[in-house]
Amino acid sequence: MNHNFGKWALDMADQSPPRRPRTLNDARTEAEAAFKKVTAKVPDAVPRTTAVPGIKEQVTLRIDQDVLEFFQDGGPGWQDRINEALRKAAGK
């Protein structure tokens, strides 16, 4: 076994330049740099195609109780009436 290795390691440690104490700003800069390296740019969302008339999509929508009652008071077809009112409000 080489007993000089321990002495060599201590000599090498003495030759390295002294490290300056870390400050909060240094730690923050290092953390931000590390974060930038591991984060990838999110790809752009795939553009949605325009809606085809007549094809409906199921959604969950919160509507004030009085507004819902207004459309439901007309009986069956209240969802179609809400859809028609929304189309009109959207200028379609």
HEC string of 37-73? HHCCCCCCCCCCCCCCCCCCCCCCCCCCHHHHHHHHC
Within-domain flag for 90:
yes
pTM metric for this prediction:
0.42
Within-domain flag for 25:
no
Q: Which residue did the predictor score with more confidence, 44 or 20?
A: 44
Within-domain flag for 19:
no
Within-domain flag for 1:
no
Q: Which domain holds residue 71?
A: 54-92
Q: Over pLDDT 90: what percentage of the chain?
A: 30
Within-domain flag for 10:
no
- pLDDT band for position 8 (50/70/90)? low
Instruction: Please tell me the total count of domains within the chain.
Output: 1
**pLDDT of the residue at 88:** 93
**pLDDT of the residue at 72:** 93
Within-domain flag for 79:
yes
